[in-house]
Amino acid sequence: MIEQLQFLSTCGRPWAEQRAQMALEITQAAQQGAISQSEYQALMADLIESDKLNAEADDMDVKNLLVSCIMIGAKLA
C-alpha cells in the first residue's frame, strides 16, 4: 500500500498526487500515535469522498488505485 501511495504521489495527476501525499502523512501520524485509529479511519475516508473525487478524477485507473490503497490502509490500521 505504501509503495502504491508513493507512486501515486508522483504520478502526474495533481488530484491523485495531493490525496496520496495526504494519505502518506496521515498514515505516518497514525503510526507515530499522533492520531487515534478512529481519527485515522475518518481522515482516510475523507480523502476519497466520492462526489469531490469524481469531479476531479480524469483517469479511472489512477482513481481506482488511489481508492483501493486508501481503503486498504484504513482497514489495516
| Predicted local confidence at residue 28, as pLDDT | 95
| Predicted local confidence at residue 18, as pLDDT | 95
| Predicted local confidence at residue 62, as pLDDT | 96
User: For the chain, which residues make up each domain, given as ranges?
Assistant: 17-27+34-76
φ/ψ bin of 49: left (φ > 0), alpha (ψ from -120 to 50), beta (otherwise): beta
pTM: 0.88
What are the backbone angles phi and psi of residue 63, rounded to the nearest 5°? -60, -45
| Predicted local confidence at residue 77, as pLDDT | 64
12-56 pLDDT, tens digit each: 999 999 999 999 999 999 999 999 999 999 999 999 887 888 889
| Predicted local confidence at residue 8, as pLDDT | 97
26-53 burial: b if 16+ Cβ within 10 Å, else e: bbeebeeeebeeeebbebbeebbeeeeb
